[in-house]
């Protein structure tokens, strides 16, 4: 494992894969220890390449992720600000608000979607709107003080 650790983050996986390959050999290698080191090295390097590709792909995907809203230069809504406020809501409240306002779902549809009662969904929706309103007012007051 120490030998494999110099190439990859999970040396135990590289070693385990090499041992499985050794067990599956139809004939024993002439030099089992040398064979094992070489195989561990190859497995570790391949694993490192996979890790690098995965990391690169995930970083690229994160950079290309669209925001929740599309920018409208003539619009009066600060899309990034609204998105930031929505992210601060608890998951269920955010889901309810987005489904109601942007999904145009009825409270009955949302209740079925989140598997909760109609009254529960309505109360959480009202609570989320109150929270958003307080946050928007607080944000506006901070902007006015800075100007």
32-48 pLDDT, tens per residue?
999 999 999 999 999 99
**Six token digits for residue 16:** 């385990």
Taking the model in full, what pTM does it have?
A: 0.47
Could you give the CA distance from residue 23 to residue 25 in angstroms, rounded to a whole number? 6
Q: What is the pLDDT of residue 15?
A: 95
User: pLDDT tens across 97-125, in order?
Assistant: 989 988 899 999 999 999 999 999 999 99
Phi and psi at residue 124, to the nearest 5°:
-65, -35
pLDDT of 21 higher than 60: yes
Q: State the average pLDDT for the chain.
A: 85
| Cα 51–Cα 55–Cα 57 angle in degrees, nearest 5 | 115
């Amino acid at each position: 494992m120490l030998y494999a650790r110099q190439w990859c983050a999970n040396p135990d996986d590289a070693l385990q894969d090499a041992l499985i390959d050794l067990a599956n050999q139809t004939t024993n290698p002439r030099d089992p220890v040398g064979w094992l080191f070489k195989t561990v090295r190859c497995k570790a390097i391949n694993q490192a390449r996979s890790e690098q590709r995965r990391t690169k792909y995930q970083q690229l995907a994160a950079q290309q992720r669209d925001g929740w809203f599309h920018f409208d230069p003539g619009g009066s809504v600060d899309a990034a600000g609204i998105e930031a406020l929505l992210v601060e809501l608890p998951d269920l409240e955010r889901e309810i608000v987005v489904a109601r306002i942007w999904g145009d779902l009825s409270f009955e549809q949302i209740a079925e979607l989140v598997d909760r009662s109609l009254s529960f969904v309505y109360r959480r929706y009202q609570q989320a709107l109150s929270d958003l309103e307080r946050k928007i007012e607080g944000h506006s007051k901070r902007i006015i003080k800075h100007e």
